[in-house]
Amino acid sequence: MSFVGKTAVVTGSNSGIGLGVARELARAGANVVLNSFTDRAEDHALAKSLASEFGVTVRYIAADMSKGADCRRLIADAGTCDILVNNAGIQFVAPIDDFPTEKWDAIIAINLSSAFHTTAAALPAMRKRGWGRVVNIASAHGLTASPFKSAYVAAKHGIVGFTKVTALETAGKGVTCNAVCPGYVLTPLVEAQIPDTMKEYGMDRETVIREVMLARQPSKEFATVEQLGGTVNFLCSDAAAQITGTTISVDGGWTAL
């Protein structure tokens, strides 16, 4: 699998799954644009270290995926976007009755609306070049639900629907759009949920991991960021040229239950 000469933009990629995906794309020869909302020396240093590790061009572009104009500017500033991975995401856990409106709005903006803005900005050039790949990092929560995650589940179901529409609007143009649906991956996002979940269920950390998180993951193993990166690379390969408008689960069997 080689993406030499292609440029990939991965939103929310200074950490976790986004960084894992960016690494695997760079390993396969793609030039990469890393992104998050921060603009720290360490963000740019991360780009530099990836570039020297894999011998590709890596830039870090700060843009806030909660803002539509920033999402569109990211794609414009990238110059070329052959592969778009919509990955940026946040989580907040609370019962619907107590769910803060600003958290609802932020999750819908970052986890769902950002993909609309980046995709809208990237598609015209992809269609023109006759090649493009859009991969949306959804979730097992794009296919099923859990209590206390109303905004997240709504956003992830939304992105699965948006994936299908994008696929229909690009079919036959050399462009595909698919959603990857991970189960639990031990990233900073998941680490951050552990204290709230401990509180909600009145459990200690190890019990939350075993009884709440991995309870629904029959493999009883976290998926890894490298496995997510490998899945994205497959969807970007020629072998996947006729795979479009669908979801691929990387969830240890969760959604087979």
| Rounded Cα gap, residues 240 and 257, in angstroms | 26
Nearer Cβ to ligand NAD, position 101 or 173?
A: 101
Q: Is 136 in the site for ligand NAD (CB under 6 A)?
A: no
Q: What's the alpha-carbon Rg for the chain, to the nearest Å?
A: 18
Q: According to CB under 6 A, which one of 58, 65, 115, 126 is a site residue for ligand NAD?
A: 65
Q: According to CB under 6 A, which one of 132, 158, 182, 245 is a site residue for ligand NAD?
A: 182
Q: Is 64 in the site for ligand NAD (CB under 6 A)?
A: yes
Which window, 39-47, 87-95, 160-168, 240-248, contacts ligand NAD (CB under 6 A)? 87-95
- Nearest approach in angstroms of CB 127 to ligand NAD is 25
Spell out, one character per residue from 19 to 38, where the chain touches ligand NAD: x when CB under 6 A holds, - when not: -----------------xx-
Q: According to CB under 6 A, which one of 84, 121, 137, 232 is a site residue for ligand NAD?
A: 137
| Rounded Cα gap, residues 24 and 231, in angstroms | 10
DSSP 170-188: HTTTTEEEEEEEE--B-SH
| Rounded Cα gap, residues 112 and 122, in angstroms | 16
Size of the site for ligand NAD (CB under 6 A): 27
Q: Is the alpha carbon torsion for 214, 218, 219, 222 positive or negative?
A: negative
Terminal CA-to-CA distance of the chain, rounded, Å?
33
- For residue 27, the tally of other CB atoms under 10 A from its CB is 18
- Nearest approach in angstroms of CB 219 to ligand NAD is 13
Nearer Cβ to ligand NAD, position 40 or 128?
A: 40
- Nearest approach in angstroms of CB 66 to ligand NAD is 4
Q: According to CB under 6 A, which one of 56, 61, 84, 90 is a site residue for ligand NAD?
A: 90
**Catalytic annotation present for 152:** yes
Do 14 and 6 contact (CB within 8 A), yes or no?
A: no
Q: Parallel, antiparallel, or unpaired: how do β-strands 31-36 and 175-182 relate?
A: unpaired
Kindly list the strands in the beta sheet with 247-250, ordered across the sheet, starting from the edge strand earlier in the chain. Answer: 58-62, 31-36, 7-10, 83-86, 132-137, 175-182, 247-250
| Rounded Cα gap, residues 240 and 234, in angstroms | 7
Which window, 77-85, 92-100, 184-192, 201-209, contacts ligand NAD (CB under 6 A)? 184-192
Would you name the residues annotated as active-site residues?
152
Residues that bind ligand NAD (CB under 6 A): 12-18, 36-37, 64-66, 87-90, 110-111, 137, 139, 182, 184-185, 187-190
